[in-house]
């Protein structure tokens, strides 16, 4: 499946402007043959918006989600968009996947919050593995810091995820996450990972870009620079199957030895 990665911060604080950016990107991606377009973390509202997180948060089926569904249906492309989700009194850092006809396929809430800003404004989710079927692939969802925990990605591997979507807001001084950690995660878990970052400075945060679609061989199928960019790359089921047949990591696991890992705390 040809997958498009929208490396963009859009216009922080304006949902309407970001929907326009998404619409234009969806049109370009669909014209290039992509079946899926993935945005960065909290794309619909912006990341560094302080207390506006609560003001702009919407339900998973709110007006912004309806607008995204219309964009998907208009361009006949699946969309994965980051946004702050309102659920009662809680606000979650969320990711929603919609099909090319606008149907909601999956909703994920970030489970591992990073830093004081996120801990102040968001409630962590409690579902480690969220998946959907799309164009013959099992697509899994994580957000940013989640992918830095090997347990999260391994759980997806064991659940059969083929393509892991990871919208992110990776900032200085952590370029090694995009350059090294994400491709290694893809290799050790035998999957594709679409890691889609923001770009440029927002308030106190300086986002790195460096979005990547990493393959199960640990090689980047596409890699962005530091600015706004629309990447296109293939997540090939046949190549994935061949890689899994040749790589013994998951077959050679010895789960009986690992139980203490979940019981050891700091």
pLDDT of residue 261: 72
Contact 120, 143 (CB under 8 A): no
Q: Residue 39: which of 9, 71, 84, 60 has the closest Cα?
A: 9
pLDDT, mean of residues 163-170 = 98
Number of Cα atoms under 13 Å in the Cβ half of residue 31? 7
* pTM tops 0.95, yes or no: yes
Q: Percent of the chain, pLDDT > 90?
A: 95
Q: Return the higher-pLDDT residue of 214 and 260.
A: 214
266 pLDDT above the threshold of 70: no
Catalytic status, residue 144? yes
DSSP letter for 139, please: E
Matching residue, tokens 């952590």: 174
pLDDT, mean of residues 227-243 = 97
Catalytic status, residue 188? no
pLDDT of residue 251: 94
CATH number for the domain that contains residue 123: 3.60.110.10
125: pLDDT confidence band, cut at 50, 70 and 90?
very high
180-207, pLDDT tens digit by residue? 999 999 999 999 999 999 999 998 899 9
In the chain, how many domains are there?
Answer: 1
Residue 250, phi-psi category: left (phi > 0), alpha (psi -120 to 50), beta (remainder) = alpha
Largest CA distance in the chain: 51
Among the listed residues 58, 85, 144, 148, the single catalytic one is: 144
pLDDT of residue 259: 79
pLDDT of residue 258: 85
Question: Across all residues in the chain, what is the average pLDDT?
Answer: 96
- Residues 206/212/217/219 CA torsion (nearest 10 deg): -80
Which two three-digit tokens encode residue 203? 């308030």
Element (H, E) at 238: helix 237-246
pLDDT, mean of residues 67-87 = 98
Q: How far apart are CA 194 and CA 39, in angstroms?
A: 10
Among the listed residues 85, 110, 148, 202, the single catalytic one is: 110
Cα 213 to chain centroid distance, Å, stands at 11
pLDDT of residue 265: 55
Q: Where does 99-248 show beta strands of DSSP type E? A: 104-109, 131-134, 137-141, 163-167, 192-196, 199-202, 205-208, 212-214, 220-223, 229-234
262 pLDDT above the threshold of 90: no
Peptide bond preceding 188: is omega within 30 degrees of 0, i.e. cis?
A: no
DSSP letter for 236, please: -
155 pLDDT above the threshold of 90: yes
pLDDT, mean of residues 221-229 = 97
Which two three-digit tokens encode residue 54? 């609560």
pLDDT of residue 1: 97
Catalytic status, residue 110? yes
Taking each continuous run of H as one helix and of E as one strand, the counts in the chain are 9, 14
DSSP letter for 58, please: B
Cβ-in-10-Å burial (0-12, 13-18, 19+) of 137 comes to buried
Q: At 215, phi and psi to the nearest 5?
A: -95, 175
Number of Cα atoms under 13 Å in the Cβ half of residue 90? 12
Among the listed residues 41, 58, 85, 148, the single catalytic one is: 41
pLDDT of residue 121: 97
Q: How far apart are CA 201 and CA 145, in angstroms?
A: 19
**Domain, as residue range, for 241:** 2-263
264 pLDDT above the threshold of 70: no
């Amino acid at each position: 499946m040809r997958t498009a990665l929208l490396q963009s911060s859009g216009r922080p604080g304006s949902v309407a402007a970001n929907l326009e950016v998404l619409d234009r990107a969806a049109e370009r991606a669909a014209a290039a043959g992509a079946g899926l377009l993935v945005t960065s973390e909290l794309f619909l509202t912006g990341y560094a918006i302080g207390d506006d997180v609560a003001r702009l948060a919407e339900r998973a089926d709110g007006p912004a989600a309806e607008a995204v569904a219309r964009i998907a249906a208009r361009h006949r492309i699946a969309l994965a968009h980051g946004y702050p989700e309102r659920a009662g009194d809680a606000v979650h850092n969320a990711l929603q996947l919609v099909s090319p006809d606008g149907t909601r396929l999956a909703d994920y809430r970030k489970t591992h919050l990073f830093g004081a800003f996120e801990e102040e404004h968001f409630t962590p989710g409690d579902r480690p593995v969220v998946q959907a079927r799309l164009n013959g692939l099992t697509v899994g969802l994580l957000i940013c810091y989640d992918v830095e925990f090997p347990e999260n990605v391994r759980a997806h591997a064991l659940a059969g995820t083929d393509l892991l979507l990871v919208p992110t807001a990776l900032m200085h001084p952590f370029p090694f996450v995009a350059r090294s950690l994400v491709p290694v995660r893809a290799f050790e878990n035998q999957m594709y990972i679409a890691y889609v970052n923001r770009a440029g400075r927002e308030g106190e945060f300086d986002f790195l870009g460096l979005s990547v679609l990493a393959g199960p061989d640990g090689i980047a199928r596409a890699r962005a620079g530091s600015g706004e960019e629309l990447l296109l790359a293939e997540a090939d089921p046949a190549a994935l199957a061949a890689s899994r047949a040749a790589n013994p990591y998951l077959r050679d696991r010895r789960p009986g030895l690992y139980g203490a890992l979940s019981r050891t705390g700091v």
